[in-house]
Amino acid sequence: MTKTSSEVNDIRGQARQGSVAAIIQVLNDQLADDGIRTRAVIADGMLQLLCEAQTLDQLPQTEVVARVQGMLEDLSPRKIRRVNINSRIVREQQLLWYEEITRDPENQLLWSQVITLKQPNPLVQLWQDLRQPKPRYTVPKGETLRRRDNQPHYFWRGLVGGASLCLFLLVVGWAVKNRLGITLSFGQTPGNSPPPEATAPAPTPQQDPFVQAVRLAEQAVVDGQGADSAAAWLDLAARWQRAADLMADVDPSDPRYPTAQDRVTVYRQNSEQALQRSQQLQTEPDPEAEPTPDAQ
C-alpha cells in the first residue's frame, strides 16, 4: 500500500513530537532499501535504537551511525537528545530485544554507539510545528474527550470564563462583607494563631504514574477494538509505549513497584505488536483484523 503525502506528514509530525513508534516507522521507511530494520524504546534516559539486517556487510558502524544521526536530527524529536545505536543480525519473533541485549551485550550485539543529537534552532522548530498539519485519521472512540483542543478560540473562551467567574466571586464577597460587617484581613500578626502544620500532599491520581499508566492501557484496549488504519495502530503503539514509560517511573519504594515492572514488559510487547500491525496495514491491500493486546 503506497502512503500518501498527507500520511507521511502525519507520521513525521508524530515523530517530531517524540512518538517512538513514529520515529521507528520513519527510520524503517528510509532504511528499507539497505535491508535495515529498526526497533526502539526509551530507557536509561535515552532512546535505545536497534538496527538489524540479514548480513554483517549491511551494518557498517560508521555509515549506519552517520545516516541514523542525520535522519534523527532532521526530525528533531522532542525530549530526545541522546541515542544509543545498537546493531545485530536480525532475529525474528523476539519482542523483548532490549532485555536480551542488556543482559548479554557482548554476545547479542555487533557494535553499539551513543550519540548526542544537535539542538535544533528554536525558530526553525516553531516554524515546523506551525506548518505541521493535523492528523487525518479518525480519532478512536472515547479519545476525543481526553485530548486537549489546541485551537485558539477554546483558550480565549476559557480565559474569559475564568475572569468572569473571579469577578463574580469578588462582587459576592464584598457584598457579604458589607452586609455582615465583616472585616477582611489579608495578613496575620505573629502570635495570633499558630501556623498550620506543613504536610506533604498525597499524590493525586493525575500525578500517580501507576494510575495514569493503567488508565492509558485500559483505554488503549478499548480503542484498539475499532482500530482499522495504519495511523490508528501507530497511535495505539505510541500510547502503549507511553504507558510503559509511566510504569517505569514508579518509585522502587512503592509497594506496587514489582507489578509496575511486570507491566513495563507487557506494555512494551503490546506497543511492538501494535507497531507491527501498523506496518502490515501499509503493505497489505486487504488487512485482516488482529486481536487487541490485553492490558492485564
Residues 123, 10, single domain; the answer is yes
Give me the chain's average pLDDT, please. 77
The answer to whether residue 194 scores a pLDDT higher than 60 is no
> Tell me: the pLDDT tens digits for 212-223?
889 888 888 888
At 291, the pLDDT band (50, 70, 90 cuts) reads low
What value, to the nearest 5°, has the Cα angle with vertex 47 and ends 43 and 52? 105
Let me know if residue 185 belongs to a domain. no
pLDDT above 90 for 177: no
Please report which confidence band the pLDDT of residue 53 belongs to, taking 50, 70 and 90 as the band edges: very high
Among the candidates 131, 149, 181, a domain finishes at: 131
Is 91 within the bounds of a domain? yes
Residues 75 and 16: beta-carbon distance below 8 Å: yes
User: Does any domain span residue 114?
Assistant: yes
Give the integer Cα–Cα distance in Å for 142 and 226: 11
Residue 228's domain comprises 209-283
Assign 8 a pLDDT band (cuts: 50, 70, 90): low
Residues 114 and 232 in one domain: no
Domain's final residue, options 115, 131, 147: 131
Residue 137 lies in a domain: no
Shared domain check, 228 and 114:
no
CATH value at residue 96: 3.30.70.2960
Q: Encode pLDDT of 124-159 as tens digits.
A: 556 555 555 554 443 343 333 333 444 455 555 666
235 inside domain:
yes
Domain annotation covers residue 293? no
Mean pLDDT, rounded, for 179-196:
52
Q: Given 81, 112, 131, which residue is the final one in a domain?
A: 131
Tell whether 215 and 114 lie within a shared domain: no
Percentage of the chain lying above the pLDDT 70 cut: 65
Do both 10 and 125 map to the same domain? yes
Query: DSSP labels for 4-40?
Result: PHHHHHHHHHHHHTT-HHHHHHHHHHHHGGGT-EEEE
Residue 60 pLDDT class (50, 70, 90 cuts): very high
Q: Which residues partner with 43 through β-bridges?
A: 46
The verdict on residue 120 lying in a domain is: yes
- What's the whole-model pTM score? 0.50
Q: Which residue has the higher pLDDT, 126 or 28?
A: 28
- How many structural domains are present in the chain? 2
Q: 530485544: which residue's cell?
A: 97
The answer to whether residue 23 sits within a structural domain is yes
